[in-house]
Amino acid sequence: MRALSVAVFALCGLAATACAGQAASGETVISAPTPAAAPASGSDSAPASVQVKDAAVAPLKGKVVAVDPGHNGGNYKDPKAINKQVDVLTKRKACDTTGTATNDGYSEAAFTWDVSQRLAKILKRRGAKVVMTRSDNASVGPCITERAAIGNKAKADAAISVHADGAAAGNHGFHVIMPKKINGPVDPVVGASRKLGVAVRDSFTKTTGQPYSTYIGSKALNFRDDLGGLNLSTVPKIFIECGNMRNAAEAAKFRDPAFRQKVALGLANGIQTYLK
Ligand code: ZN
């Protein structure tokens, strides 16, 4: 639907800073999950073989991960709610945006929803408790302030907000966004968030073959103080812009379910590396 696409692009522009882009290149082999940790020694409460198996199957047991699929497929239906101004401490900005889309209409919201579901499945399979910030891709919201609050309330060990950019078509590559100190609630987790960001950056490029962003950050790392999802987080948190949806080569990748699975695996492996 042409009208819808125009609306999506227009609204994305309002918050384009939180959208991302990607570039394609040779794809690498999907990384295997991290090997099991060594079993506890000296315990006779369970056979060593059982302990090894538990660690292998559930390396993230006891960990809580907050997964935030950026935007929402229904956001375009309620501009008043989505454009409502909220306080992100360093400024006031819209509650959320529609996000961007590929030139042929695959929305960022649909992409982030699909990737986040795949990511949650992998994390749960590895034993983590996963908290999502939205439960479908047809609703409106929640606001970026609430998305941060969900991770905080869950006392997440790690939190990630999944996005894809809407930059100029010639740009490509992914980047990770981490918080800056703002004399606010995020300050105590700025260092941990950076570690999480580096771990996810390394795993993401290895697993997906995505190159570093050609247009934002340094070696795919970017630090910002204008994102509510980061400023209001009291748990280690990052955003990832998986690539540029307006770049034709990257758009084609985003539409491929096999690539989206690699994206999810790259994120999961990076989070697991950080949590170990
Ligand atoms: Zn976005």
The upper half-sphere exposure of residue 242, i.e. CA atoms within 13 Å in the direction of its Cβ, equals 34
The upper half-sphere exposure of residue 119, i.e. CA atoms within 13 Å in the direction of its Cβ, equals 30
Q: How far is the CA of 64 from the centre of ligand 1 (A)?
A: 23
Give the angle subtended at the CA of 246 by the CAs of 230 and 253, to the nearest 5°. Answer: 90
Question: How far is 163 from 17, CA to CA, in rounded Å?
Answer: 11
Report the pLDDT value the prediction gives residue 188, as an integer from 0 to 100: 98
Structure tokens given for 17: 């800073």
Q: Is residue 105 part of a domain?
A: yes
Determine the structural domain holding residue 33 and report its residue range: 6-275
pTM (two decimals): 0.82
Q: Is residue 63 part of a domain?
A: yes
Least confident of 41-50, 105-114, 164-173: 41-50
Residues 56-69 have a mean pLDDT of 94
Q: Is residue 21 part of a domain?
A: yes
Residue 156 banded pLDDT, cuts 50, 70, 90: very high
Residue 159 in contact with residue 151, Cβ under 8 Å? yes
Residues 202-229 have a mean pLDDT of 98
Q: Is residue 260 part of a domain?
A: yes
Q: What percent of the chain has pLDDT over 70?
A: 80
Residue 254 in contact with residue 102, Cβ under 8 Å? yes
Question: How far is 114 from 266, CA to CA, in rounded Å?
Answer: 14
Residues 64-75 have a mean pLDDT of 98
Q: How far is the CA of 55 from the centre of ligand 1 (A)?
A: 35
Report the pLDDT value the prediction gives residue 34, as an integer from 0 to 100: 43
Residue 57 banded pLDDT, cuts 50, 70, 90: confident
Residue 232 in contact with residue 153, Cβ under 8 Å? no
Q: Indicate which residue of 108, 146, 241, 250 is catalytic.
A: 241
Residues 254-265 pLDDT 10s: 999 999 999 999
Residues 80-119 pLDDT 10s: 999 999 999 999 999 999 999 999 999 999 999 999 999 9
Q: Is residue 251 part of a domain?
A: yes
Amino acid (one-letter) located at 203: S
Question: How far is 167 from 216, CA to CA, in rounded Å?
Answer: 10
Kindly report the CATH number assigned to the domain that includes residue 259.
3.40.630.40
Q: Is residue 1 part of a domain?
A: no
Burial of 135 (0-12, 13-18, 19+ CB in 10 A): exposed
The upper half-sphere exposure of residue 102, i.e. CA atoms within 13 Å in the direction of its Cβ, equals 19
Backbone angles phi, psi at 125, to 5 degrees: -60, -30
Residues 227-231 have a mean pLDDT of 98
Q: Is residue 119 part of a domain?
A: yes
Question: How far is 245 from 99, CA to CA, in rounded Å?
Answer: 10
pLDDT at 2 over 80: no
Handedness of CA 197, 201, 207, 208 (dihedral sign): positive
| Average predicted confidence (pLDDT) for the chain | 87
pLDDT at 31 over 50: no
Q: How far is the CA of 51 from the centre of ligand 1 (A)?
A: 41
Report the pLDDT value the prediction gives residue 79, as an integer from 0 to 100: 97
* DSSP three-state, residue 89: coil
Q: How far is the CA of 88 from the centre of ligand 1 (A)?
A: 16
Q: How far is the CA of 50 from the centre of ligand 1 (A)?
A: 43
Confirm whether 241 is a catalytic residue.
Answer: yes
Beta-carbon neighbours within 5 Å of ion ligand 1: 18-19, 70, 99, 163
Residues 139-148 pLDDT 10s: 999 999 999 9
* DSSP three-state, residue 271: helix
Report the pLDDT value the prediction gives residue 22, as an integer from 0 to 100: 33
Q: How far is the CA of 265 from the centre of ligand 1 (A)?
A: 20
Report the pLDDT value the prediction gives residue 15, as an integer from 0 to 100: 38
Q: Is residue 37 part of a domain?
A: yes
Q: Could you give the number of structural domains in the chain?
A: 1
Listed residue (150, 153, 234) closest to 186, CA to CA = 234
The upper half-sphere exposure of residue 203, i.e. CA atoms within 13 Å in the direction of its Cβ, equals 24
